[in-house]
Amino acid sequence: MQTLTPQQVFSVEIVREVNSFVQITHSVVAQQPWQHNATAYYNNQPVWVALAWQYMEQARGSRPFIVLVRDGAGQIAGWWPLLLSKRSLGWRLQGFGQEYSDYVAPYIHTPYLAVQPAIQSALAAALCEHRAAFSMAFFPSLLWQGGVESLLRDRCGWQHQRTSLNLYLHWQAEEGLDALMERLHSNKYRKLLRYEQRRLESMGDLRCESITTQAPLEEAERFFRANYSHGAEQAKVDLWFAYIRATLGGQSRLSLLSLDGEIINMILWFPRGGQVDFFSTVYAQKLAKLSPGKTHLYLFIAQLFNQGEGGMLNFLSGDEPYKQRWATGHFESYRLFLHHFRTPTAAMLALKPLLKRLF
């Protein structure tokens, strides 16, 4: 077992103002090599927290409950942006933006990644210590290194379910795209991909480009709003594009498929810790029968291969057919919930094992 130095004995504080959190973490954000840190998910970064508060959570009457971790010397080791969401039966502890993103995950500052379990243990203990502040906690897709055992060991009454709907495509640097295609897809499907690409090319100048500057962003936003089919409320789309404008070319990227200069498909993605998070794809509804999304995904993956490095394309939550076609594996996240010990629901959960033994 690794022995922790005094600087690796961690303490926790709860930050209850977003502006204070942004100021406290400013120096860490300025120096963090987030591109190489797999815990730097977009919705645990201060810029996202500030924008989510501005566009969504402040108007809802939510209360920040941001868990900040320091080492024995007082240096920031990580944080977990949580909030208390007002519900009919009290306050629910949840992630900042978990209702309109994929994962809920704490950020561990890069120098402390080697002792991540110790930091997670400190976070888990803090939630138990402060559980009187909320009537329930709910994390629909929690990323927690090594599983949730450190949370469950604290005996706070956490309940959990495993979910394996996190698909990814992994490739080696020496593996070519053609070899991967043969490994994943039948000859029939490979021919179909080539046919659909040629069909679009026959209609005009087909281009797949990643944008990292603000100039094409206004057109991309108009395209997204006109074609996004999941019915996201206005404030959520406003938040997403505010975040893209603030981080484009850094923590957020856009890949556009265009035909004669007109966008026909868009992929929003995030680089994180040597991998790519595939967040959302939107296609032109009028061209749905031509499968622009299928062609774009193939060309997008081809561009990743052309960078000449091995890596992973994380399809995030969900098991849609197009993800299953490209996936080489999956990993687990956890659905976790905790009811306050004074609520009837918590009492029933506590009695459930006893009742099972008796009856």
pLDDT 10s digits, 45-75:
999 999 999 999 999 999 999 999 999 999 9
pLDDT of residue 17: 97
Contacts for 113-119: CB closer than 8 Å, 24+ residues apart = 113/37, 113/39, 115/2, 115/4, 115/8, 116/39, 116/145, 117/145, 117/146, 117/150, 118/4, 118/8, 118/10, 119/10, 119/69, 119/77, 119/78
Quote the pLDDT of residue 352. 64
Residue 103 has what DSSP assignment?
A: -
pLDDT at 313 over 60: yes
Rg (CA), the chain: 22
Q: Are 137 and 337 in contact (CB under 8 A)?
A: yes
**pLDDT at residue 162, rounded to an integer:** 72
Closest of 279, 271, 229 to residue 100, by C-alpha? 279
Residue with the larger pLDDT of the pair 265 and 87:
265
Whether residue 350 is predicted with pLDDT greater than 80 in this model: the reply is no
Q: Backbone phi, then psi, for 200, in 5-degree steps?
A: -70, -40
Residue 326: pLDDT over 60? yes
Of the two residues 106 and 131, the one the predictor is more confident about is 106
Q: What does the pLDDT look like over 192-247, one tens digit per residue?
A: 999 999 999 999 999 999 887 777 898 999 999 899 866 567 888 899 999 999 99
Tell whether the model's pLDDT for residue 356 goes beyond 60: yes
Coil vs helix vs strand at 236: helix
Question: For residue 233, what pLDDT is reported?
Answer: 73
As a whole number of angstroms, the distance between CA 348 and CA 344 comes to 6
Beta strands in 97-252 (DSSP E): 107-108, 136-142, 159-163, 166-171, 206-211
The burial of 68, by beta-carbon neighbours within 10 Å (0-12 exposed, 13-18 middle, 19 or more buried), is given as: buried
Which backbone phi and psi does 220 adopt, to 5 degrees?
-65, -40
Q: Collapse the DSSP code of 49 into the 3-class scheme (helix H, G, I; strand E, B; otherwise coil) and give the result.
A: helix
Q: Which amino acid is at 294?
A: K
Mean pLDDT of all residues in 74-96: 91
Domains, the chain, with CATH or none: 6-163+333-358 (3.40.630.30), 167-330 (3.40.630.30)
pLDDT tens figures, 8-36: 689 999 999 999 999 999 888 877 666 67
pLDDT at 359: 63
Sheet holding 253-259, edge to edge: 206-211, 253-259, 262-272, 275-283, 311-317, 166-171, 329-330
Beta strands at 90-95 and 136-142: parallel, antiparallel or unpaired: parallel
Kind of pairing between the strands at 76-80 and 262-272? unpaired
C-alpha pair distances (Å), 358 with each of 226, 270, 347, 352, 355: 58, 51, 17, 10, 5
User: Above pLDDT 90, what percent of the chain?
Assistant: 45
pLDDT number for residue 245:
93
Local confidence band at 6 (pLDDT 50, 70, 90 cut-offs): very low
> Highest mean pLDDT range out of 81-90, 143-152, 182-191?
182-191
CA torsion 4-5-8-13 (nearest 10°) is: 110
Q: In the structure, what pLDDT confidence band is assigned to residue 154 with cuts at 50, 70 and 90?
A: low
Per-residue burial over 90-111, b = 16 or more CB atoms within 10 Å of its CB, e = otherwise: ebbbbbbbbeebbbbbbbbbbe
Q: Which residue has the higher pLDDT, 211 or 344?
A: 211
pLDDT at 2: 46
C-beta separation of 205 from 349 below 8 A: no
Asked if residue 7 has pLDDT above 50, the reply is no
Residue 269 clears pLDDT 80, i.e. is over it = yes
Which residues, at least 6 apart from 342, have a Cβ–Cβ distance to it below 8 Å?
A: none
DSSP 62-75: -EE-EEEEE-TTS-
Q: What is the pLDDT of residue 146?
A: 67
